[in-house]
Amino acid sequence: MMEAAPLISHFETYLPFTEEEIALINNRIHRKRIKRREYLMRAGDICRHYTFVIEGVLRMFGIDEQGREHNILFAAEGDWIADISSFHSTRPGFSNIQALEPSEIIQIEQDDLYYLFINIPKLDRVFKVVTEDKYVELQDRIFQDISSTGLERYLYFLEKYPKLGSRLPNTQIASYLGITPEFLSMIRKELVSGK
Amino acid sequence: MMEAAPLISHFETYLPFTEEEIALINNRIHRKRIKRREYLMRAGDICRHYTFVIEGVLRMFGIDEQGREHNILFAAEGDWIADISSFHSTRPGFSNIQALEPSEIIQIEQDDLYYLFINIPKLDRVFKVVTEDKYVELQDRIFQDISSTGLERYLYFLEKYPKLGSRLPNTQIASYLGITPEFLSMIRKELVSGK
DNA sequence: CGCGACGTTGATTTGCCTCAACGATTGTGG
DNA sequence: CCACAATCGTTGAGGCAAATCAACGTCGCG
């Protein structure tokens, strides 16, 4: 069993865990490395894992009727990523999950996660809080999407995720913002000259 | 104490509760009626309650720099509404929460909700699942917002919330979709004629 | 009754997309 | 280790989706 320390530290930012609880968790997780561009899930698959990112960046994206990809979220160090709906229903999902950098992750399968929820009720609390935090982030983003221009959304993104702003290709950022790479390029040009 | 049955039924769609647990819950909630246009919270307030809707519709909206309102979500029968970030941090929030119809609600204050989480750990599970479901809805909406036209988002809204489509004024729906009432009017005109 | 909320229409403007083309960079197989 | 392909960022011309602004009729409510 590889080191699960990053996941335990993550949990312990919310609540303390005993040695026995940590041992239980250790027995139910899988740590692995994945390559750039590798897929953890494709649209139509059933999402079999909750994935925690130790190192690297992943994206979740959907594909519209015209075949275009649209980034729904990025997950970097300390983030969780999963097609929650597919994971809990054990039915095919609409999301794709792919690594944008060579990454190191910890995965938990459905059975194992449910086993942990039953045996460590505290984990319900932890996942409740984690999900609430992510929910608030999505609400903020929706407010941006319905109230702001592409420029404003780009500035908000840079402010909120400064590291991702420099780590990710602009095509990926444009896809996340809901604009074309060409238009993002225009925005960036005006930011440099006009400021 | 007024009837809390709708809330208990809501909880029991997720897990069973004992008589003692139900009594605990009953002692910690407040049921009330509110008028159309009444505010439960304004931007700058601290969100003091988690609110469950028994009857009616509420909206949460933000106000941009130009003073325009943008609907972040609607909450109808069986939904929860709260400025989660403000509620948990006990700090001023950016949201406004207002009734769009005369409504009947159940409210839980922060102390009481935390008391219930400690004494009925099951509730962590319930709120975890409720929040996950809402999180998935927001993800779907973000995908729509960054990938679709106003027409497509309107059709998706009608399909997903058919009741709200007829109950709410179009100005409120337009605000939710991120388009102007004038443009929604044009869309609706074309739907009637062009179909 | 009168006012404010609501829905609608039309003229004009603007934010952003589409399509096409082109260097620069990356990475990968021979 | 080089050569070629694929990815990436950028620029520009033209077009469309949606906003803005103004005006007007209807309705419900106090």
Under the banding of pLDDT at 50, 70 and 90, the label for residue B3 is confident
* For chain A, domain boundaries: 5-147, 149-195
Burial letters for A96-113: b for 16+ Cβ neighbours within 10 Å, e otherwise?
A: bbbbbeebbbbbbebebb
Helix (H) or strand (E) holding A108: strand A103-109
Neighbours of A193 (CB within 10 A): 7
Tell me the whole-structure pTM to 2 decimals. Answer: 0.95
Per the listing, tokens 């000259």 go with A193
Residues 112-171 of B, Cβ under 7 A from nucleic strand C: 169-171
| Separation CA A58–CA A45 (nearest Å) | 17
A5-147 homologous superfamily: Jelly Rolls (2.60.120.10)
In a 13 Å sphere around the CA of A4, the CA atoms on its Cβ side amount to 21
* pLDDT for residue B92 is more than 90: yes
CB contact under 8 A, A131 and B135: yes
Task: Report the SS3 class of residue A89.
Answer: helix
Secondary structure (3-state) at B91:
coil
B178 and A62: CB-CB below 8 Å? no
**Identity of the residue in B117, B125, B178 whose CB atom sits nearest the CB atom of A146:** B178
Q: How many Å apart are B166 CA and D26 C1'?
A: 19
B4: confidence class by pLDDT, cuts 50, 70, 90: confident
Distance CA A90, CA A85 (A): 8
Residue of A nearest to B86 (CA): A136
Amino acid (1-letter code) at residue B21: E
Whether residues A131 and B131 touch (CB distance < 8 A) is answered with yes
Of B71, B127, B146, the CB nearest to A70: B146
Is the CB of residue A99 less than 8 Å from the CB of residue A38? yes
Q: Tell me which chain A residues have a C-beta less than 8 angstroms from the C-beta of B93.
A: none
Cβ <8 Å between A127 and B127: no
Residue B166 scores a pLDDT above 60: yes
Q: Taking a C-beta distance cutoff of 8 angstroms, is the pair B75, B101 a contact?
A: no
Q: Which residues lie closer than 8 Å to B164 by C-beta, 6 or more apart?
A: B57, B74, B76, B157, B173
Asked whether residue A180, judged by its CB, lies under 7 Å from any atom of the DNA or RNA strand C, the reply is yes
Q: One digit per residue, pLDDT tens: chain A, 195 residues?
A: 568 899 999 999 999 999 999 999 999 999 999 999 999 999 999 999 999 999 999 999 999 999 999 999 999 999 999 999 999 999 999 999 999 999 999 999 999 999 999 999 999 999 999 999 999 999 999 999 999 999 999 999 999 999 999 999 999 999 999 999 999 999 999 998 764
Determine which of A97, A118, A128 to mutate to test the interface with B (most B C-beta atoms within 10 Å): A128
pLDDT (tens digit per residue) in B104-134: 999 999 999 999 999 999 999 999 999 999 9
Q: Please write the tens of the pLDDT for every residue from B40-77.
A: 999 999 999 999 999 999 999 999 999 999 999 999 99
B60 to A145, A148, B100, B112: CA distances (angstroms):
16, 18, 10, 23
**A175 contacts in B (CB within 8 Å)?**
146
Query: What confidence tens digit (pLDDT) does each residue in A76-96 have?
Result: 999 999 999 999 999 999 999
Residue B194 — very low, low, confident or very high, per pLDDT cuts 50/70/90? low
Name, in order, each residue with C-beta under 8 angstroms of A7's C-beta and a sequence gap of 6 or more.
A25, A29, A52, A54, A106
